[in-house]
Amino acid sequence: MVTFTLAGKDYGIDIMKVKEINKAKKFTFVPNSAPFVKGVYNMRGDIISVIDLRVFFNLPVSNQDRGFENMIILRLEENTIGILVDTIEKVIGIESSRKQPPHPLFGDINIKYIDGVIENDNSLYIILNAEKIFNKEEKSDQKDKTRNLVIQNTGAANFQEVEELIRQDSSLSVNLGFIKETLPTYLGFYPSGMNNDWITSRFESWKRVKGEDNFQLKNRQDAEEYMKGFNSICTGQLWSDEMIASISPLLPQLKGNAFIWNPGCGRGYETYSITCMMKNKNPSLLLKVQGNDNDLIKISSAPGLNIEKAKVPSFYESFLVSTSQGSQFNDVIKDSIIFEYSDLNNDSSIPPLDMIVCRDTLCFMPEAVQVKLLNYMYENLKPGGLLILGENEIPINQSGWKLLENKNLKLFKKI
């Protein structure tokens, strides 16, 4: 649902009824209309009626010049209507089973317009039923008759040409903001400076495909479709021959002892890939690669990972031994790896690092945690050390990093 405030209270409305979010002012006045009818509005050629929901519910409205007002465009069965609210908050994903019936003590608003109430993050939201509010059958008093007349006659109203007041950049920002608010709800993915370029670019292509009326994320399936193309190649599998060939020229020729950290290693495919790649570059290197993950089942099975040899890229052949269940990496590779269960949200202690590989992991943590961990990584990398993030991720603070690129692969070198 889309959440907003009226007179200091929290409200929600079914996102399926929301066509878009906008900001506008100076609506064209319609004579003889009810007080809650703010006027009509030219929305890219479509004339819609605008209702001030605060006046409609007899809630206080500031007399000060409010400038651009927050408007939610509702797509109802018979009409498209704009409603003015105090503030537009965010999109919240809720399960219908959590919704409780309204109570008569919600005195500010007639209970017949309330679809239910729900508590989320210590806030109580009153969910409005848009269809009942603007359904002709619900209108019995004079105000409703007047309002209905305005709505029905909007298209034929003899009004002056309205001023186009939409600020396209503002509209883009608000609607993109709703996408960003929804992704953590459905996928646990947190938009931030790490991924903002990709999220913004994806929004433009998403709107072109979905259209102006259907681009909001309504469920997890929509969110997953929106995020297609974000994850890096070879995620959850051994790095391919092509990827090894692209990334190897960017790596330093390490000597002596070297330590590499691979947080978010999952079942260990990435950790094995890094270890084989570094051993191939310098077989005499005294290497330790630490793979961490908070999935206990995956991290427990990683040391004994069995793979089907026929599906292994040719690069790894010299690092494999046959087993009764397929193939495993040889002792040289296994002895170079430490798999540990850990949660990146908790403080950890690691030695000075030559390289960190952390692809498609930080973006699934709140932005504050992303910043904290990126700072931690920078502090613990040796000068000249390398950071490998996901293909569509960058450090939030890019000062202190030098970008290295080869065939769409990006590494960040600590300056």
In the three-class reduction of DSSP (H, G, I as helix; E, B as strand; rest coil), residue 35 is classed as coil
Residue among 220, 212, 210, 225 at smallest CA distance from 172: 212
For the stretch 129-159, what's the b/e string if a residue is b when 16 or more beta carbons lie within 10 angstroms of its beta carbon? bbbebbbeeebeeeebebbbbbbeebeeeee
How much is the pLDDT for 369? 92
How much is the pLDDT for 167? 47
Kind and range of the H or E element at 119? strand 114-120
How much is the pLDDT for 103? 67
Residues 166, 160: contact at Cβ < 8 Å? Answer: no
- Order of strands across the sheet with 87-91? 87-91, 2-6, 9-13, 123-128, 114-120
DSSP code of residue 365: S
Residue among 28, 12, 164 at smallest CA distance from 91: 12
- Please state whether 341 falls in left (phi above 0), alpha (psi between -120 and 50) or beta: beta
What are the DSSP calls for 261-310, one per residue? EEES-TTTHHHHHHHHHHHHH-TT-EEEEEEEES-HHHHHHGGG--B-GG
How far apart, in whole angstroms, are the C-alpha atoms of residue 388 and residue 394?
Answer: 9
pTM: 0.64
Written as tens digits, the pLDDT of the chain (415 aa) is 889 998 888 999 988 888 888 888 778 877 777 788 888 888 777 788 899 888 888 888 776 666 788 889 888 877 889 999 988 888 887 777 788 877 655 556 777 788 888 888 888 888 998 888 877 544 444 444 444 444 444 443 433 333 343 444 555 566 777 788 888 888 899 999 999 999 989 988 888 888 766 777 878 888 899 999 999 988 889 999 999 999 988 888 888 899 999 999 999 999 999 999 999 999 999 999 999 999 999 999 999 898 888 888 999 999 999 888 788 999 999 999 999 998 888 777 788 999 999 999 999 999 999 999 999 999 999 999 999 999 999 998 878 899 998 877 889 999 8
How far apart, in whole angstroms, are the C-alpha atoms of residue 188 and residue 305?
Answer: 28
How much is the pLDDT for 210? 81
How much is the pLDDT for 329? 93
How much is the pLDDT for 155? 42
Residue among 94, 85, 84 at smallest CA distance from 123: 94
Residues 318, 279: contact at Cβ < 8 Å? Answer: no
Residue among 273, 282, 256, 358 at smallest CA distance from 315: 273
How much is the pLDDT for 153? 44
